[in-house]
A and B are shown apart, each in its own frame.
Chain A
């Protein structure tokens, strides 16, 4: 809770309806020196991320947006797959469909080893799929995903401030690394996903 200097610590949002698993993942993440927030549902996760159910950024909405305006940056979302209401897969989709959140790496956890489930999640843009119970060796795999987006995020924040509603749609090359993993995602340019105009910043990505 509260703000931290975003440069010094990565902040992970963990989503799981099981209290035991929330305790476990929290401990695993804290052991790896991450700042952790846990929530017990996909909808609470979206709230925390500053998104209401309609995929609109809450700061710009007035009537239906929750009180919480998300000041704290989230660098990664790790979520259980099987949850009542919104599944981890649904949450993953909503995050990847959101122009403000799509760059946040998402990791799925599941107690069941179902290949079609795994590939569905990876195709939707999940970075990793962990089988439960999750171990320290799994959590160690998160670092590269966090490192990659941290550097890009700093630059994207600057661009967002420049121009939010540009009619021109450009794909940033920062995403090129991410595109390797997301097969179907960013290939096509959707009119819903306007991106800030590329002002010629030189992006250094890992």
Chain B
């Protein structure tokens, strides 16, 4: 059980750092609480949908901002969606970037929108990377016969 212990410690340290640095918030813990033996893949499923949805939203955002005449309401609609989905999975930094982004949409500030699209994109890929690492660690723990510690 030495391996399991090590992996669990790695996991706990890592996820705590994600909370500390604001990548994830308590909503992620709520997702974990909804996972059980009858739904062992719940978190992976939700996170996967988030990844897919987000890629599409980022594409839609990019093309809507590149239009000759930018429809700021449309852009705002996409950001609103992104804010919602990131909030639902606990991706706090992405959510916060979306909140700021929306202000530029309201102001019809194209430059601001452009900059914040880049920021949102950046934050998304960062948290995607972190989540993939986290979920990989979970898999390793389970495969080694251990259980994933639940952080409160």
Contact = CB atoms under 8 A, between A and B. Distances in A.
Interface of A: 18-21, 23-24, 27-28, 31, 82, 111, 132-133, 135-136
Nearest to A80: B84
B46 A24 contact: yes
Given A31-B34, A133-B30, A133-B87, A23 B45 contact: yes
Given A23-B49, A24-B31, 16 more contacts: A18-B84, A18-B88, A19-B49, A19-B53, A20-B50, A20-B85, A20-B88, A20-B89, A23-B45, A28-B34, A31-B34, A82-B80, A111-B84, A133-B27, A136-B30, A136-B34
The 3 closest A-B pairs by CB, nearest first: A27-B34, A133-B88, A20-B85
Contacts of B87: 111, 132-133
20 contacts: A18-B81, A18-B84, A19-B49, A19-B53, A20-B46, A20-B50, A20-B84, A23-B46, A24-B34, A24-B88, A27-B34, A28-B34, A31-B34, A111-B83, A111-B84, A132-B84, A132-B87, A133-B27, A133-B87, A133-B88
Chain B CB count within 10 A is highest, among A20, A23, A82, for: A20
Nearest to B42: A27
Interface in B20-35: 27, 30-31, 33-34
Contacts of B81: 18
Contact of A18 (B27, B31, B85): B85
B44 to A, nearest CB: 12
B34 A20 contact: no
Contacts of B49: 19-20, 23
Given A19-B49, A27-B42, A132 B88 contact: yes
B58 to A, nearest CB: 15
Interface of B, secondary structure class, is helix
Contacts of A24: 31, 34, 46, 88
Contacts of B53: 19-20
Contacts of B30: 133, 135-136
B39 interface: yes
Contacts of B34: 24, 27-28, 31, 136
Contact of B84 (A21, A23, A135): A21
A10 to B, nearest CB: 19
A135 B31 CA distance: 9
A136 B34 CA distance: 9
Contacts of A21: 84-85, 88
A21 B80 CA distance: 13
B46 A136 contact: no
Contacts of B89: 20
A23 B33 CA distance: 14
Interface in B69-102: 80-81, 83-85, 87-89
B134 to A, nearest CB: 18
B87 to A, nearest CB: 6
Contacts of A136: 30, 33-34
A82 B87 CA distance: 15
A19 B80 CA distance: 14
B23 to A, nearest CB: 16
